[in-house]
Amino acid sequence: MGWKRVALIILAAVAIVGGGAYYWLIVESHAPADGHFALDMEEIRRLADVKPGSKAVEIDAEKVAAFSFPLTAVIAGGGWKKVEMPVYSYRLVFPDGGTAIIDTALDAKVGGSQLASFDAAAYERMSAALDKASLIVVTHEHMDHIGGLTEHADLKRILPAVELTQEQVDHPERSVPAAFPEGALNGYKPLVYDHYLAVAPGVVLIKSPGHSPGSQMVYVQKADGTEVLFIGDVAWKFRNIELVRERARLVTQFMLKEDREAVFAELGELHRLHEAEPKIHIVPGHDGEVVDALENAGVIKAGF
């Protein structure tokens, strides 16, 4: 065999292996068959009525910052075009004036050079809203959801309103570079629950580990019966649910260390739920089009 032939064979092998690796890391998004996740809406709705008091009359969204990711990082096989990944905090307003916060975004220091944009005024409004809230929950322990909390100037004072789960507290390594100050959670009693937990009138937490160990969805039923399901980063975009398609494996396996099988099961169940009950408004973690549409429809109000 001549050296040219050997070189050709090596080149062909590299192309095949490299092509396979590219496909596996960047494009492949086949749902495994054995995951299991169920959203029992009958039980979730029952729990929404468990806490005494009036349900929220308003849901506000504050867009604090944005990332910019290649589409294939968001939806495997989507190509390299950059897409905006807005970062939100949400506020529920109850008729007695009480408020609850879902997700706290992140500050400019935590976001650093990863941020494509940052709205300092929006962050200040969000941070001030944390001061007044009677309940603060996060969908998961990643920096763009918990960062506004870890960096809050008066964490000790607002901590009684903060309801982190055991898993969120147990995995600070998932929050970096966001981190609670040394000792800030000493003596803190996190939430411990198995599947669903009612935390306020019309508000139910839904345990959804996979994207991170402490991931949960937040079901909100407004006083007028409107239903909104904040799914955190189970999906970054609604398209993930439509296609039942995950982020690229390079992101899920090597950057996020996701339980990919669990996330696929959740995407499949959200897909089923959307087909069965299209009136439930599903809000992915970073989908500006979904939030804009809900603002236009009057389900969510823009700004705190």
Residues within the interface to Zn ion (CB under 5 A)? 144, 233, 285
Checking phi first, is residue 51 left (phi over 0); if not, alpha (psi -120 to 50) or beta? Answer: beta
Tokens of 241: 């649910």
Counting every residue, how long is the chain?
Answer: 304
Q: Which is nearer to Zn ion, 141 or 144 (CB)?
A: 144
Q: How many CB atoms lie within 10 A of CB 15?
A: 10
Q: Which is nearer to Zn ion, 214 or 285 (CB)?
A: 285
**Least distance (Å) from Zn ion to the CB of residue 57?**
27
Paired tokens of 167: 């898993």
* Least distance from Zn ion to the Cβ atom of residue 225, Å: 29
Closer CB to Zn ion, 55 or 211, in the complex: 211
The least CB distance from residue 195 to Zn ion, in Å, is 23
Report in angstroms the alpha-carbon separations of 245 from 19, 63, 84, 234.
20, 25, 18, 11
**CA dihedral of 272, 273, 274, 276, whole degrees rounded to 10:** 90
Minimum distance of Zn ion from residue 286's CB (angstroms):
6
The DSSP secondary-structure symbol of 180 reads P
- CB nearer Zn ion, residue 110 or residue 198: 110
CB of 162 to Zn ion, least distance (A): 19
Which of 149, 177, 151, 143 is CA-nearest to residue 161?
149
- By three-state DSSP, how is residue 146 classified? helix
In terms of CB distance, is 69 or 219 closer to Zn ion? 69
